[in-house]
Amino acid sequence: MKKGCPFGSHRVVEPQGFLPQAAKKIDNTMELYSNEILINVQTLNVDSASFTQIKNACGNDKDKISEMIKKIVEERGKLQNPVTGSGGMLIGTVEAIGPDLAHLDLKIGDRIATLVSLSLTPLRIDRVKKININTDQVDIEGKAILFESGVYAVLPKDIPDRLALAVLDVAGAPAQVERLVKKGMTVGIIGGGGKSGVLCSYQAKKNAGETGKVIVVEYSKENANRIEKLELADEVIIADATKPVEVYEQVLTSTNGELCDVVINNVNVEGTEMSSILIAKDLGTVYFFSMATSFTRAALGAEGVGKDITMIIGNGYARGHAELSLNILREAPEIRELFEKLYQ
């Protein structure tokens, strides 16, 4: 049995010398290398920005969505949306473990969620069984490979699989909020009604405490009502985040001209960078978790309006992020109840 590169470069077909995420095509044959894990896949949780783009391109037609997803995987050997560049994650059952990974606390038959992107994961889809347009989840028959460097979480017994998958897909966001938000801070969350927004709002309220303030900017009235009902924000502003001056003026009023210490961007559409930048204080921090973020628009836009701020690109991995996010469901039964309705 051959041994591969810990980071998966041995699976790259083209261009040679690239790592799997940046590669155009990777080898998705399921012949195991000695330092890989073979997974029998149950469900794909497609990245929100990617699934939104696919849905729009297919007019919400499930058959067309299925065909587009299969075509992407056939062409690339992985599920990496060619428009957004993003992927998602999966859950499945461990089918085989390469002998070089025998030291892992993992055994055949364990049910796991991969905590690395589908945009770098060798994937083979044999059949699409079900598409859930409302949850971005796709049930399939297929196989996947996890590299030696790949991060995973054994699925908890006290949380249903689909619910755990939905939460783990965005676990990096609340984990970064936990690091960035301190007691007494004013926090702005762009797009607070989705799963990452709800988790981030909860963590921001927890960290900022009674002396802090959490402001959620939400386009959807339904999502805004959800945040208010859950009491996850001190103020909810209904506004279009693609219109930065409108958002800025409302947040400026809400904060008495002070603006936000930390801004978290969770939206799944393009063109919201400047709303995030404008509502941040000078020397504040903007965390772009959204995969629809343009580095160019953010960098040049901040320069153009004279904003001296720290901008962080969303990293889906943070040490301890899986347990932190799952614990939110354990700590907040009202959030768990909401997510159970959405993701069962």
User: Mean pLDDT throughout 86-107?
Assistant: 94
Q: Estimate to the nearest angstrom the gap between the alpha carbon of 39 and the chain centroid.
A: 21
């006290």: which residue's tokens? 158
Q: For residue 137, what pLDDT is reported?
A: 92
Q: What's the order of all strands across the beta sheet hosting 88-97?
A: 123-132, 137-146, 37-46, 88-97, 111-114, 152-154
Q: Do 146 and 116 contact (CB within 8 A), yes or no?
A: yes
User: Mean pLDDT throughout 199-203?
Assistant: 96
Give residue 210's pLDDT band: very low, low, confident or very high (50, 70, 90). very high
- The one-letter amino acid code at 198 reads V
Give residue 79's pLDDT band: very low, low, confident or very high (50, 70, 90). very high
Helix (H), strand (E), coil (C) string for the chain: CCCCCCCCHHHEEECCCCCCCCCCEECCCCCCCCCCEEEEEEEEEECHHHHHHHHHHCCCCHHHHHHHHHHHHHHHCCCCCCCCCCCEEEEEEEEEECHHHCCCCCCCCCEEEECCCCCCCCEEEEEEEEEECCCCEEEEEEEEEECCCCCEEECCCCCCHHHHHHHHCCCHHHHHHHHHCCCCCEEEEECCCCHHHHHHHHHHHHHHCCCCEEEEEECCHHHHHHHHHHCCCCEEEECCCCCHHHHHHHHHHHCCCCCEEEEEECCCCCCCHHHHHHCEEEEEEEEECCCCCCHHHHHHHHHHCCCCCEEEECCCCCCCHHHHHHHHHHHCHHHHHHHHHHHC
- The one-letter amino acid code at 224 reads A
Going along the chain from its start, the domains and CATH numbers come out as: 9-155 (3.90.180), 172-338 (3.90.180.10)
> The pTM is what?
0.84
Q: What's the order of all strands across the beta sheet hosting 235-238?
A: 235-238, 213-218, 186-190, 260-265, 280-288, 310-313
Question: How many CB atoms sit inside 10 A of residue 108's CB?
Answer: 11
Q: What CA–CA distance (Å, rounded) separates 223 from 121?
A: 32
Kindly give the pairing relationship between strand 123-132 and strand 88-97: unpaired
Q: Decide if pLDDT at 344 tops 80.
A: no
Kindly give the pairing relationship between strand 37-46 and strand 137-146: antiparallel
Q: For residue 99, what pLDDT is reported?
A: 96
Q: For residue 308, what pLDDT is reported?
A: 97
Q: Mean pLDDT in the chain?
A: 94
pLDDT digits over 303-341, tens only? 999 999 999 998 888 899 999 999 999 999 999 999 998
pLDDT digits over 133-188, tens only? 988 999 999 999 999 999 999 999 999 988 998 899 889 999 999 999 999 999 99
Question: Cβ contacts of residue 220 below 8 Å, gap of 6+?
Answer: 193
Q: What CA–CA distance (Å, rounded) separates 30 from 126?
A: 12
Q: Decide if pLDDT at 268 tops 90.
A: no
Q: For residue 342, what pLDDT is reported?
A: 82
Please give the angle made by the CA atoms of 249, 286 and 273, to the nearest 5 degrees: 60
């962080």: which residue's tokens? 312
Give residue 98's pLDDT band: very low, low, confident or very high (50, 70, 90). very high
